[in-house]
Amino acid sequence: MKSVTISDLCVSFGALQVLHDIQLEVAAGECFGLVGESGSGKSTILRCAAQLNQKWTGTVEIGGKSVRDMSVAERCRAMQMVFQDPYGSLHPRHSIRTTLEEGLRINGIGNRDARLAQAMRDVGLPVEFLDRYPHQLSGGQRQRVAIARALILEPDVLLLDEPTSALDVSVQAEVLNLLVRLQKEKGFTYLMVSHDLAVVDHMCDRFAIMQHGRVVEVLPREAITQGGATQPYAKELIAASLEYEHAV
């Protein structure tokens, strides 16, 4: 288990500054949520931490070590990411076996067959599915494969970029429960982006509310139902979300 510390994270795309001095502390083994409207910079934080976007300033530390100082191999084992769209995150011409095996091959990890089978069991998919192709799986099954791919390298931190927003409501619950169970079993630290406060309420210990590239407030889970937000935007967002829940 490793903690994640983000400090002074700034990102600009051209003249537009999309993240302003982000400070976040995620404890080891914690599930931390990032919520906010579209374009508030939630996903950008994850992409910076994962070094998919390299043009940023500040520091991101995992387990006390800056992600910039890590070697590629070290970074792979420190954190992995699960993407929003399971239709776009699996290579359409690679079988599930190839998709999962790739990380093991690159990092020279042996005993691959056993690890593949274990990863499939971990995410609740039959081992026979290894020889299928993404288009032969449903959305929920694909997302399970994407999760299996992330955890096959046994990372400490999982970055979840709206892992359920592209899925049907009934499948959402399945995938969320899977993520909760995996965290209990393997002690991952989760940093999860979500639109949906209900998801955050289900999963996260604490969450940060973001607006226009700034963290407005960091709140514990209980703040959603019991109130506890002090900032006007945070109150507004939580109220709007609760109202929506009641309406549904």
Q: What interhelical angle do 139-151 and 112-122 show, nearest 10?
A: 130
Min CB(33)–another protein separation in Å: 21
Q: Residue 125: helix, strand or coil by DSSP?
A: coil
Q: Of 19, 53, 234, which Cα lies nearest the Cα of 159? A: 53
Site for another protein in 6-35 (CB under 8 A): none
Site for another protein in 69-108 (CB under 8 A): 72-73, 75-76, 79-81, 83-85, 88-95, 97, 102-103, 106-107
Min CB(113)–another protein separation in Å: 6
Which of 115, 149, 206, 221 contacts another protein by CB under 8 A? Answer: 149
Q: Of 125, 139, 33, 30, which Cα lies nearest the Cα of 84? A: 139
Write out the H or E segment, with its range, that includes residue 134.
none
In this structure, are residues 76 and 103 in contact, taking their beta carbons and an 8 Å threshold? yes
Q: Which is nearer to another protein, 46 or 219 (CB)?
A: 46
Q: Residue 2: helix, strand or coil by DSSP?
A: coil
Tokens of 137: 């799986």
Q: Which is nearer to another protein, 133 or 233 (CB)?
A: 133
| Cβ contacts of 89-92, under 8 Å, gap ≥ 24 | 89/142, 89/146, 90/134, 90/142, 90/145, 90/146, 91/134, 92/133, 92/134, 92/135
Min CB(29)–another protein separation in Å: 21
Q: Which is nearer to another protein, 97 or 214 (CB)?
A: 97
Contacts with another protein, 113-132, as mask; x by CB under 8 A:
x--xx--------xxx-xx-
Which of 133, 165, 180, 218 contacts another protein by CB under 8 A? Answer: 133
Min CB(79)–another protein separation in Å: 8
Q: Which is nearer to another protein, 63 or 228 (CB)?
A: 63
63 touching another protein, by CB under 8 A: no
In this structure, are residues 53 and 61 in contact, taking their beta carbons and an 8 Å threshold? no
Q: Of 101, 91, 165, which Cα lies nearest the Cα of 134? A: 91
Tell me, by CB under 8 A, how many residues bind another protein: 39
**Which positions lie near another protein, rule CB under 8 A?**
50, 52, 72-73, 75-76, 79-81, 83-85, 88-95, 97, 102-103, 106-107, 113, 116-117, 126-128, 130-131, 133, 135-136, 146, 149, 153
